[in-house]
Chain A
Amino acid sequence: METFSEIFLPQRGSTGAADVDTLFHFIHITGFILLAGITIAIIYFCIKYRRKSDDEVTPIITHNANLEITWSVIPLILILIVFSWGFRAYLTLYTPPSDAFEINVTARSWSWEFTYPEGGSSLGELYVPANRPVKLIMRSEDVIHSFAVPDYRVKMDVIPNRYTTLWFEANEPGTSQVFCTEYCGTGHSAMLAEVIALDEEEWEEWLETGLEVDEDMPLAELGEQTYTGASCNACHSVDGTPSVGPTFQGLYGTEREFEDGTTATADENYLRESILDPQARITAGYPPVMPTLAGSLSEREIEGLIEYIKELE
């Protein structure tokens, strides 16, 4: 059953997943039986009652009330089952337990920021305790996004003018993919993140130290992490392919030309300005769409990014 299930569905990462999966399989199997019945009947009739001569006469069979009732009532029963089942599971999916651990989520084009009750925040990586309900309180800074974790079978739109919530309970430590599933423009498909479920020990430890940036990590490595975490990759490639923004490959040290005709060399100061105040100088040939990252990146992360860009020859 487990392997059968995995052909269709991703691994079950949350406590709520099993119920959803069972309903999914129930509808598939029932649907398949219905489909098979219809298909076999069609094929059988087409063979058996093939036209043999052009002047064949067919019987006049106009209707049959019993049949009509049968094939209305059986589907009716099926949909009542499916409805109440889906309804019940939906109820659990959207009723967070009162003791859930609360984390705030801020979505912006095109990155996810997670703020923890202790005050710290992380970009692109959501750390949660396993085996404990977690409630996300979500808000968007611009357009509608949608927070989806297929492994957990959860999804909820994140909208600009009010909070939406979502809860889940990871059933084992591990990493799961987060997608943005409401179309939000150019970087929609790059608006990814990860949920990292930690076991109790790791979680305690992470709460203590995790929010502080790892001082020992080499700057360039931190920069690489931030590059995906802050979704720079939504617009900037590192292998030379053109995208929304200029590629980072070989960017450092080159002569930049701006929309207003001026030029400058891409040195550290210029890179810092581009990150913190992107609209100050717009590189020629590109739209002025880059969001400012002032405020959501730490000083060390900015340095890391600059270091990372410098290393991309």
Chain B
Amino acid sequence: MSENHHVVPLKTLLYNAGALLVLTILTVAVTWLHIPEPFNVVVAIGIACIKASLVAMIFMNLYWDNKFNTIVFLSSLVFFLVFVFITLLDTLFRDVPFGIY
């Protein structure tokens, strides 16, 4: 039974945590650089995404797991993005007069 469950090596776990901590320091450090808008957001979110994928893949075992679980996880992000972008389609374009289309 649990023979076919993946037991993650201790080293992998520790390295992963180390990488996460380094990225945390990095994300704080880049704010000292004062990257101009909007790239600072891009960098901050980019780093957060890498961190989240590390947690999901290693700690949450998705890398070794049934791929369907990954699909389930990613689908939530897809629908979240749908929510964000379509709403922005309204909120960012309220003052744009209709004539331009």
Direct contact of A and B (CB under 8 A): yes
Interface range on chain B: under 10, 10 to 19, 20 to 34, or 35 or more? under 10
CB contacts (< 8 Å) of A95 on chain B: these are 97-99
- Tell me if A91 counts as interface (CB < 8 A to partner B): yes
CB contacts (< 8 Å) of B99 on chain A: these are 95
Interface range on chain A: under 10, 10 to 19, 20 to 34, or 35 or more? under 10
CB contacts (< 8 Å) of A32 on chain B: these are none
Chain A residues 81-96 with CB under 8 Å of chain B are 91, 94-95
- Tell me if B101 counts as interface (CB < 8 A to partner A): yes
Question: Considering the chains assembled together, what is the distance between the CA atoms of A97 and B101 in angstroms?
Answer: 16
CB contacts (< 8 Å) of A91 on chain B: these are 98, 101
B97, B98, B99, B101: which has the most chain A beta carbons within 10 Å? B98
Question: Considering the chains assembled together, what is the distance between the CA atoms of A35 and B97 in angstroms?
Answer: 39
Shortest distance in angstroms between B5's beta carbon and chain A's nearest beta carbon? 41
Question: Considering the chains assembled together, what is the distance between the CA atoms of A94 and B101 in angstroms?
Answer: 12
CB contacts (< 8 Å) of B97 on chain A: these are 95
Chain B residues 47-71 with CB under 8 Å of chain A are none
Which of chain B's residues has its CB closest to A87's CB? B101
Which of chain A's residues has its CB closest to B95's CB? A162
Shortest distance in angstroms between B98's beta carbon and chain A's nearest beta carbon? 5
Residues 84-101 of B, flagged 1 when their CB comes within 8 A of A and 0 if not, give 000000000000011101
Question: Considering the chains assembled together, what is the distance between the CA atoms of A94 and B98 in angstroms?
Answer: 7
CB contacts (< 8 Å) of B101 on chain A: these are 91
Question: Considering the chains assembled together, what is the distance between the CA atoms of A94 and B97 in angstroms?
Answer: 9
Shortest distance in angstroms between A2's beta carbon and chain B's nearest beta carbon? 30
Question: Considering the chains assembled together, what is the distance between the CA atoms of A91 and B101 in angstroms?
Answer: 9
Question: Considering the chains assembled together, what is the distance between the CA atoms of A91 and B97 in angstroms?
Answer: 10
Shortest distance in angstroms between A162's beta carbon and chain B's nearest beta carbon? 8
Shortest distance in angstroms between A144's beta carbon and chain B's nearest beta carbon? 16
Shortest distance in angstroms between A255's beta carbon and chain B's nearest beta carbon? 54
Which of chain B's residues has its CB closest to A93's CB? B98
Question: Considering the chains assembled together, what is the distance between the CA atoms of A95 and B97 in angstroms?
Answer: 8
Which of chain B's residues has its CB closest to A162's CB? B94
Which of chain B's residues has its CB closest to A94's CB? B98
Question: Considering the chains assembled together, what is the distance between the CA atoms of A95 and B96 in angstroms?
Answer: 11
Question: Considering the chains assembled together, what is the distance between the CA atoms of A95 and B99 in angstroms?
Answer: 7
Question: Considering the chains assembled together, what is the distance between the CA atoms of A91 and B100 in angstroms?
Answer: 10
List A residues at the B interface (Cβ < 8 Å): 91, 94-95
6 smallest CB-CB distances across A and B, nearest first, come from: A95-B98, A94-B98, A95-B99, A91-B98, A91-B101, A95-B97
Pairs A–B under 8 Å by Cβ, sample size 6: A91-B98, A91-B101, A94-B98, A95-B97, A95-B98, A95-B99
